[in-house]
Structure 1
Amino acid sequence: MQTKIDFIGGNTKRCLMAMALPMIAAMFLNMAYNLVDSLWIGNLLGKTAYAALTNSTPIILILTSVAMGATNGISILLSQAIGSKNQKRVESLIATSLIVAIVFALMITLILEIFLPHILIALNTPVETYDMAYSYLSIYVLGYLAVYLYLYFTAVLRSFGNSMFQAIAMLVSTILNAILDPIFIHCFGFHGAAIATLLSQGICLIFMVVYLKRKKFFSLHITWFDKADIFPLIGKAIPSIVQQSIPAISTTFLTALISTYGITAIAAYGITGKLETILFYPAMALNMVLTTIVGQCIGGQRIDRAKDYLKCALKYGCVLLFLLSGIIVIFSKQLAGFFVNSTEVATIVGVYFLTVSIGYVLNTVTNCFLGVLNGLGKPEKSMFLMIFYYIIVRMPLAYLLSSLGFALNGIWITVLVSHICAAMASMLVSLLQIKGEK
């Protein structure tokens, strides 16, 4: 298959937009997919059920982050092979990575089903929400293979310069979940939402396979499997998994910390997480897009083109996030009312977004530079940066300020501080790496 977009010879702005806009659309559709559960559960079942969903969310985030990280690791090697026009290498990477992806996803599913009760206890899940969170997650985990394969195929297509498929697949899945959610919640209660999610993911995977087979975007033969590719794939996947998972681990830690402040605080934090997806997903999209584009540029030995794409992504990404974050900050209290009808919850949500505010623009800067590092084939550097500002800065500082009596406000301040540290550190490391590529 030929790449859909000429990243090396084409117009920088047009090529970036051709990849980024469908990716951002897919991300917003994914946000809508997740919001469906939240809106139906919050409005039909109340604050306790919504708190149970919030307790479940960190685990779901970690699972999704693992899948996104592993498949993004595949995209690093694949995009570089495509950029260097090494067809044999491309074919062996696709075949090998697919088998590895299936085995890995099944292992994760088995481990989660066995240890789920212990994980929920470790997260300080309140007694009032434990049974509901367990029933939801035990069903959700069964669909993990479908989630993983969806992300795998979209990463492969993205490496070839096709991001439109991800938007189409996500649209189908979102519509299915929106239709099935109220039906299954009405019939089965809280865990009916998980059943609806499981079914929509399975149907979406079937649609995906049929779509790929008919369009013939790329060739796939298991006989092209090459065990020599396993360790290079793992070598790129592990740093990418850690990189994607660390924010989810941080969220898990903060959720456990915030759980000590009661159901209202948990519900409010759950709402901030949902609204933040509006602000995080464009940045994440730029990260993944730059991984692919820079990878192809490096494969084609055009570091100058990689720098052009970075400048363009920073320019348009920061403008977009400035506008979006302003809207969320201004209307955060009103938006909170769509999830849970509670003045106390809305107040906490409003304070959170007012405190963090500019942090979302800084997060976009961070993701652009991390995408460049990944595309350069240096996901381990991105990983260490993530460890620095999430594990070393955010988590200890949140615990410290909370313990010193700043309570929830101390945690919110910590989130902003970590965004500042992230932008500064990622910019410095990325620019030094780019300079070394000359």
Structure 2
Amino acid sequence: MPVNAAHTALWPAPHASGAVTATVQVPGSKSVTNRALVLAALAAEPGWLRRPLRSRDTLLMAGALRAMGVGIEEGVGPDGSGEAWRVIPSGLRGPATVDVGNAGTVMRFLPPVATLADGPIRFDGDPRSYERPLHGVIDGLRALGARIDDDGRGALPLTVQGGGALEGGPVEIDASSSSQFVSALLLSGPRFNQGVEVRHTGSTLPSMPHIRMTVDMLRSIGAQVDTPESGGEPNVWRVTPGALLGRDLTIEPDLSNAQPFLAAALVTGGTVVVPDWPARTTQPGDRLREIFTEMGGSCELTDRGLEFTGSGSVHGIDVDLGEVGELTPGIAAVAALADSPSTLRGVAHLRLHETDRLAALTKEINELGGDVTETADGLRIRPRPLHGGTFHTYDDHRMATAGAVIGLAVDGVRIENVATTAKTLPDFPDLWTGMLGTGTLETGTLGN
């Protein structure tokens, strides 16, 4: 098969003939796995990551850290229970070249790490990665004393001239286009000589749950972090310099990746169970319980996990998704199948994600007969009878899963490049087909 065959192939999205009933073992969280890898690499002692996600983004992160000298051994945990990665910190060193792919966490979290390396670290990636904003990280690191060569682009490709340490201290950045700018500086902050004080100067700050995730994970391995929520100044985060502990950490299921499966229950009036759904989490995907309930479902946390049931009706919603923007494609797909209009707000920053998600959703749903219009900060969706056709993904994993959701209710939907789901959800086509066939979804080759 030609190298690009997966990108041009059309996958017939399975059509549901009735209510879906399934148990879905969702793989580990990308956001947690990649933060955990960075923190383990910066720790003062080795640590374990149990049930890590094996996907393109996490393997890119692991490969990048290895290129800088970090030991990452893949195997089973110390008690023999399931897959685990042992992370062995060592002296970060260059020269090295890092492939970021199109992973926002890799391209933004690792330049601060690279300032601590002894030697130059070059960052490069997919063509789309050149278009994604990095100015918040680049400008912030320069203000903290780093040397970065980017030919004035404020974007990839670039080289960080690692000096083995960074002075750190106070810095002002505008993180309006990505909360990852804040998280990037906080994650490496304990290793800076003066720690770091990040002050966000922009008018908006998307995806706050991801910053809270970063703070919680830093605190769990011994870092001292002051935040606006803990009585500090608004839009200011302070990390005190100090050693980080090696941890034995179990990665939570990726709740955002549970979205298409919960949507399947909502759209078909069925029931899906997601085991190991945490009772408390900073993952943005936890908002799905509230949002999909408002759209016509019901859910309960039980000993089995999260049990989500559709009522047989799907309702429109008016919702601000500013803190949970990554959920927008799946919510838009469900909204296109609802019995009343929807307005999705607060997500102008999605124009800078893996693709321009607002433009892509508008074009693809409308080409299936929908009525979607872009607003200044979101989408307005008026349900219309949809028909089959090709649903393009733009190399965006969440576009692919959104198309699959529509395909449950609309016969003849064909998804271009469904393989892009491997970015965060390996084996998605098999999992999706299994949901409609056997009713039990396993994680396929994730543990191999």
Q: TM-score range by the shorter chain?
A: under 0.3
Structure holding more helix per residue:
1
Structure holding more strand per residue:
2
Name the TM-score, length of structure 1 as normaliser: 0.26
Name the TM-score, length of structure 2 as normaliser: 0.25
